[in-house]
Every structure is written in structure tokens, then in C-alpha cells.
């Protein structure tokens, strides 16, 4: 269980070294209390990371975070309101899967939520390289959030 206070961004939880040649990171998680976002991250290191986030409101995003800078949204947030028949997030546990793969000066980023591809982006502006991967959670401003992660796994991406 990750409990995150207002103003925090907890992202170093469960870090593991990525395999070379691209990585697929997955976790099952549930927003238990509060308001905010949660998900997985890849290509993490001292310089930054790529975050794949889902919010309690059903929005998904892929964000490039560099140390000491505002995050750069590469995809999203995509609003998937509860009345939308294509809503990706569900109440309860959601399975977040992210792929970070690439070469030749760019990284391709894909995100699945509950087995459905919901986001895809390419980063060609000083892309981040392989490093560590893990899970993250962050509250909305002025709030706290508690997220329960049931599982976490990483494996090499298919070539």
C-alpha cells in the first residue's frame, strides 16, 4: 500500500533494473482512498523517467519527467468519463501495462489498461534510456491518496 501526502510524488517504490532492448512493466492497482493518480514508470534514473498514469476520474496519461522540471505530457490526459462506453478505467482493481522500447534516437511508449491499448507516444527529443522501473502514486493538490498495488512485474519487450 502506498500512502502519499499532499505535495508528494512517490515514484521510487519497487524499483527494479530493466532488461536491455526494451521493457514491459505491469501492475495491478486500486485507488483505495483520496484522489490522485497511480501507475507504473520505466527508463528511470537520476535524470528522469516515463510515467504511465491512470486517475480515479478515468484519465490516462504518459508523462516524461526530468529531475527539477515540470513533466512533459506526451499523451493525455484522455478523459474516459463513466458514461463513455469505451471507458478504460474501472472501479476496483485495474491492470496497468506499459512498454518502453526503441532505438535510433527515439523511444516508443505504449500503455494498456485492463488489456486495452489506451495510449501511444514517441519521444524523439533527448529520449531517456533504459534504467529502472517501478510503480508510482501522486495525490491531487490539497489531498492525500492511498493506492494498493497487488502485483508488479517486468519483462523484456518483444523485438
pLDDT (tens digit, 9 = 90+) per residue, 3-15? Answer: 655 555 555 556 7
Q: Is the pLDDT of residue 157 over 80?
A: yes
Confidence grade of residue 46 (pLDDT, cut at 50, 70, 90) = confident
CB atoms within 10 A of CB 86: 9
What Å distances lie between residue 18 and 28, 131, 141, CA to CA?
Answer: 19, 6, 31
Fold for the domain defined by 2-156? Jelly Rolls (2.60.120)
**How would DSSP label each residue in 119-148?**
EEEEE-SS---S-EEEEEEEEPTT--EEEE
CB 23 within 8 A of CB 96: no
Q: What totals of helices (H) and strands (E) does the chain contain, helices first? A: 0, 12
Show Cβ contacts of residue 144 under 8 Å, excluding neighbours closer than 6 positions: 3, 4, 5, 6, 33, 34
- The proportion of the chain whose per-residue pLDDT surpasses 70, expressed as a percent, equals 81
Q: Is the confidence at residue 85, as pLDDT, over 60?
A: no
| For the chain, domain boundaries | 2-156
The cell for 47 is 535524470
> What's the pLDDT band for 59 if we cut at 50, 70, 90?
confident
- Which residue shows C-alpha cell 527494479? 16
pLDDT of residue 4: 56
**What does each C-alpha distance from 54 to 83, 101, 103, 126, 157 come to in angstroms?**
17, 20, 27, 25, 22
State the pLDDT at residue 156: 92
Q: What is the pTM of this model?
A: 0.85
**Per-residue pLDDT, 17:** 85
Q: Residues 91-137: pLDDT tens digits?
A: 788 999 999 998 779 999 999 999 999 999 999 999 999 999 999 98
Amino acid at each position: 500500500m502506498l500512502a502519499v501526502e499532499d505535495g508528494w510524488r512517490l515514484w521510487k517504490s519497487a524499483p527494479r533494473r530493466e532488461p536491455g532492448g526494451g521493457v514491459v512493466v505491469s501492475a495491478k492497482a486500486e485507488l483505495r482512498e483520496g484522489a490522485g493518480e497511480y501507475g507504473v514508470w520505466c527508463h528511470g534514473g537520476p535524470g528522469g523517467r516515463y510515467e504511465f498514469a491512470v486517475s480515479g476520474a478515468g484519465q490516462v496519461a504518459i508523462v516524461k519527467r526530468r529531475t527539477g522540471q515540470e513533466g512533459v505530457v506526451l499523451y493525455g490526459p484522455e478523459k474516459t468519463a463513466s458514461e463513455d462506453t469505451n471507458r478504460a478505467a474501472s472501479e476496483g482493481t485495474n491492470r496497468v501495462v506499459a512498454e518502453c522500447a526503441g532505438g535510433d534516437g527515439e523511444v516508443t511508449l505504449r500503455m494498456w489498461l485492463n488489456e486495452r491499448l489506451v495510449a501511444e507516444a514517441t519521444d524523439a527529443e533527448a529520449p531517456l534510456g533504459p534504467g529502472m522501473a517501478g510503480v508510482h502514486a501522486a495525490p491531487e493538490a490539497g489531498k492525500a491518496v492511498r493506492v494498493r498495488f497487488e502485483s508488479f512485474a517486468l519483462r523484456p519487450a518483444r523485438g
